[in-house]
Amino acid sequence: MSLDPLLQKVAASLGRLALDGSGCVSEVRLCDVFCRLGIEKEAAHDAIRLSGSRDSHGCVDVSRFVAWLVGPGGGAVKDSSGTALEGDEPDDSLCHPHRGVSVHHLATSLRCQMREAGLSPDASIYDIEPVIIRPKGARQICPRTRKLGAAYVDSIRGKDHAGPAGFMLSYTWGYQVEDIISTLTAYCESRGLSFKAAYCWMCCFCINQHRVQEARQSGEAVPFAAFRAEFGERVRGIGHVVAMMAPWRAPSYIQRVWCVYEVFTAFEEGCRTTICMPPGEASSLADALVDWTGVSAVWQTLAGVRIEHAQASVEEDRRRILQLVAEGAGCTRLNRRVARLLQGWILAEAMSVCQGLHGRKSGGWLGLEELGRGAAVSANVASLCLQLGQIPDCRRALDLGMQFASEAPHVDDFELRLILGRCHGTAGDHREALLTFTALEEAVCKSGDGSPVRRLLLARARRNKGQAHANLCEDAAAHDCFASALETLGADPKTAPDGAGGSIARGESLSRGTHELLSSSLHRSIGAVHLNAGRTKDACLCFSRSCEILAAAELQFTQQCAWAERCMGEALLRLGRGEEALVHCQRAQNVTMAGSLGAAWVHRSTGRILTSLGQWTAAAKELGQAWHIMEANGAESSIEAQGALRDLYALGLAWLAAGRAAGSAPSLGMVIGSVTSLLRSAATSESDSGSARPSPQALDGITSGIRKFQESGELDQPYRIPFGYSD
């Protein structure tokens, strides 16, 4: 059977029609043939019109019409690879609501069609839709509507080419087709999936573009509610959304509101979401990880998720989608969810780069230069892991880096040791961190290298040493370390290295903004010492100076800026300016990496401010989120985590007291019950972030912690700004 069965019957029936002497038949009689075969009259008229076989008198040239049905050259309708699309092979998935194209078909047939159409490899979906996608089903009756013009996926046959989709690809039509194909093949290879059995639902191939064009030309608009219901059913039915991100530095994906809507729907429906990117982009990310400027670019990518800025070709679509998001998760919450998704993706890619280099080292394939590269990549990946709060991954990357450095005599391990100290401190072991930074300071001084790169490293070591002292409540020693670091850093940000080798991760040049970042950090740290000592106005001046330095260097979207904003919020809270304090903490939340320990600190400060403003429910959510992040990162025993519990207890007291008669103190049992309830209700409900409630062990710890605070009177102790171990 060479034609669509219905069209074959039409062609055969034409021979039984009474023709006039010119070989023509009236359009009315031909339409009757279509109708007797169960084809709508509208589709019949469309077929006759598209064939170009009708004259001005309404007569159809039968020979010309049959030739159009059969296609150029006659015979079976084939795709450009020679595969018979309408063959005798049964296709059980035809008309399946989630029928998708196979990765095999895209990698073979579609590529062939593009070559035959004269399209370049960088052609986008926009380019192939009018010349390949729509023409593919132009001569076929849609098996779903019985109208002329079928979707691309309904115009191909055979289980090697189409079948029930196992995942939905979320992408933009502006992506290059070749990038889409290479992304999907790499996705299958990484998971051991057969190209022929991996079916992908893509809107360009699986939605009938003929109907889309007809609606567009007639001015019809699908009611948004109907579209939302249909799309939600599709996402639920398929159950897995694969989001394609490219380029990694600034994914156009997160700039398109329809892509945002697909991710939003996946989250709302509790579906699995995976991120992937073209192999070329993965290679670009690997190259960027060698240099710290590349890691800064990664950080900006993760911090730049702003759903509310996404665009759409139809403004009404954008308005409706953002309204749906606002009514559901909310833009801020969705921003954080997408950011967390991006974090996991980039972190996995970064770790795979490290492990790939280590695998080559184990095989004896790395020379001295590549060993140095491995040490640099490992240091930068470890730092990235630490910034994201992934301490176990940080330790793994550090172990790999130390192995690279030990086999490369021209590379020192100073950068790795600095990150190791930060790792100890972030995990709450401030004494071990202090020992590590002190030893590093001595080693750098003994090296005798006075280059700007070494001075920068020494300043960073002294700054982190001061942070360890501060976290141990040794404020005088901390202040001395910070002042010494400022003196070591110097006032000239334009210094250049002398070319001596050795420092990993920073390479042979000071990256743009390095001086400003460190200077800002030191001003912030000195401000924190002032704040902890009760010198609040002096602290505000230091925090303000820290923010000004970053803004002047256009570094306001960095983690450093988030910490400065958070500290300013705490200072303003001390001055009784809660509304202003809340603005600063909200700015910090917009920059901080979702799920990181830095984010937990910001959540805690926000909760403290909201408590002071009497916004009990919002405060409980922020404080509960702070605890959950710390617990997820294994930092529940840290000073900051214990402080979050103390804040929850204080919130419980304030909340209960606000609802009781003046002067009536609530019982300890009531407070414990209230705080436990708060923490349960504040627990995140995100399906991709683990348990929605704290573990029984965690609740036991919370209860005992609250009792400890109540019995020891620690609630009367002033809040101390924690000192983060920053780069």
Assess contact for 727 and 299: CB atoms under 8 A: no
Query: What φ, ψ does residue 541 adopt, rounded to 5°?
Result: -60, -40
Predicted local distance difference test score (pLDDT) of residue 132: 96
> 100: left (phi > 0), else alpha (psi -120 to 50), else beta?
beta
Predicted local distance difference test score (pLDDT) of residue 83: 39
Q: Pull the structure tokens for residue 235.
A: 């996402």
Other beta carbons less than 10 A from residue 386's beta carbon: 28
Q: Which residue has the higher pLDDT, 333 or 20?
A: 333
What is the average pLDDT score of the chain? 77
Q: Which residue has the higher pLDDT, 591 or 465?
A: 465
Which of 331, 328, 350, 349 is closest to 339 using CA atoms? Answer: 331
The count of residues in the chain is 727
**Distance between CA 552 and CA 24 in Å, rounded?**
80
The alpha-helical segments, DSSP class H, found in 575-638 are 578-591, 597-612, 616-632
Q: Pull the structure tokens for residue 215.
A: 């609606």
Contacts 24+ apart (CB under 8 A), 614-623: 614/654, 614/658, 616/651, 616/654, 616/655, 616/658, 619/651, 620/648, 620/651, 620/655, 620/678, 620/679, 620/681, 620/682, 621/681, 621/682, 622/682, 623/647, 623/648, 623/651, 623/678, 623/682
Predicted local distance difference test score (pLDDT) of residue 493: 39
Assess contact for 423 and 391: CB atoms under 8 A: yes
Instruction: Please give the angle made by the CA atoms of 219, 223 and 228, to the nearest 5 degrees.
Output: 135
CA 619 to centroid of chain Cα atoms:
27
Confidence of residue 390 (pLDDT cuts 50, 70, 90): confident
Q: Pull the structure tokens for residue 105.
A: 């078909």
Residue range 155-184: average pLDDT? 94
Q: Return the bridge partners of 164, or none.
A: 99
Q: Which residue has the higher pLDDT, 324 or 201?
A: 201
Query: What φ, ψ does residue 414 adopt, rounded to 5°?
Result: -60, -45
Share of the chain above pLDDT 90, in %: 27
The alpha-helical segments, DSSP class H, found in 451-595 are 452-471, 475-489, 514-532, 536-552, 559-574, 578-591
What residue ranges define each of the domains in the chain, with the CATH number in brackets?
A: 5-70 (1.10.238), 78-220 (no CATH), 602-727 (no CATH)
- SS3 call for 365: coil
**Distance between CA 72 and CA 80 in Å, rounded?**
13
Residue range 678-701: average pLDDT? 44
Assess contact for 16 and 29: CB atoms under 8 A: no
Predicted local distance difference test score (pLDDT) of residue 199: 98
Q: Pull the structure tokens for residue 346.
A: 């980039």
The 8-class DSSP code of residue 256 comes to B
Predicted local distance difference test score (pLDDT) of residue 154: 93
Assess contact for 562 and 522: CB atoms under 8 A: no
Given 3-state DSSP classes, what are the helix, strand and coil percentages for the chain, each rounded to the nearest 5?
65, 5, 30
Reported as half-sphere exposure (CB side, CA atoms, 13 A), residue 483 has a value of 7
Residue 337 has pLDDT above 90, yes or no: no
Q: Pull the structure tokens for residue 448.
A: 């005798």
Question: Looking at this protein, which amino acid is placed at residue 142?
Answer: C
Q: Return the bridge partners of 311, or none.
A: 256
The answer to whether the peptide bond before residue 143 is cis (omega within 30 degrees of 0) is: no
The 8-class DSSP code of residue 176 comes to B
**Distance between CA 592 and CA 595 in Å, rounded?**
9
With tokens 């020192």, the residue in question is 412
Which of 239, 187, 209, 188 is closest to 125 using CA atoms? Answer: 209
Predicted local distance difference test score (pLDDT) of residue 297: 66
Parallel, antiparallel or unpaired: strands 162-164 and 99-102: antiparallel
Which of 623, 653, 655 is closest to 641 using CA atoms? Answer: 623
User: Which of the residue ranges 47-56, 181-190, 657-666 would you say has the lowest mean pLDDT?
Assistant: 657-666
With tokens 């004896």, the residue in question is 364
Q: Pull the structure tokens for residue 727.
A: 């780069």
Instruction: Please give the angle made by the CA atoms of 714, 720 and 726, to the nearest 5 degrees.
Output: 140
Predicted local distance difference test score (pLDDT) of residue 553: 83
**137-153 pLDDT tens trace:** 988 888 888 888 999 99
Which segment, 16-25, 417-426, 497-506, is predicted with the most confidence on average? 417-426
Q: Which residue has the higher pLDDT, 47 or 1?
A: 47
Q: Pull the structure tokens for residue 520.
A: 């800002």
**Distance between CA 462 and CA 443 in Å, rounded?**
12
With tokens 């904003």, the residue in question is 565
Q: Pull the structure tokens for residue 316.
A: 């009404």
**Distance between CA 243 and CA 262 in Å, rounded?**
9
Predicted local distance difference test score (pLDDT) of residue 462: 94
Predicted local distance difference test score (pLDDT) of residue 13: 60
Which of 480, 471, 564 is closest to 517 using CA atoms? Answer: 564
**Distance between CA 8 and CA 46 in Å, rounded?**
17
CA 17 to centroid of chain Cα atoms:
62
Instruction: Please give the angle made by the CA atoms of 594, 600 and 604, to the nearest 5 degrees.
Output: 130
Predicted local distance difference test score (pLDDT) of residue 345: 79
**Distance between CA 207 and CA 222 in Å, rounded?**
14
Q: Pull the structure tokens for residue 103.
A: 């990765």
Confidence of residue 409 (pLDDT cuts 50, 70, 90): confident
**Distance between CA 66 and CA 529 in Å, rounded?**
87
Predicted local distance difference test score (pLDDT) of residue 19: 54
pTM of the model: 0.61
Assess contact for 259 and 252: CB atoms under 8 A: no
Environment class of 75 (CB within 10 Å of its CB; exposed 0-12, middle 13-18, buried 19+): exposed
Question: Looking at this protein, which amino acid is placed at residue 227?
Answer: F
**569-623 pLDDT tens trace:** 999 999 999 999 999 999 898 877 776 777 888 988 998 899 888 887 788 778 8
Q: Return the bridge partners of 540, or none.
A: none
Other beta carbons less than 10 A from residue 484's beta carbon: 18
Residue 275, CA distances (Å) to 248, 502, 680 in order? 11, 36, 30
Which of 303, 249, 271 is closest to 594 using CA atoms? Answer: 303
Confidence of residue 442 (pLDDT cuts 50, 70, 90): very high
Confidence of residue 79 (pLDDT cuts 50, 70, 90): very low
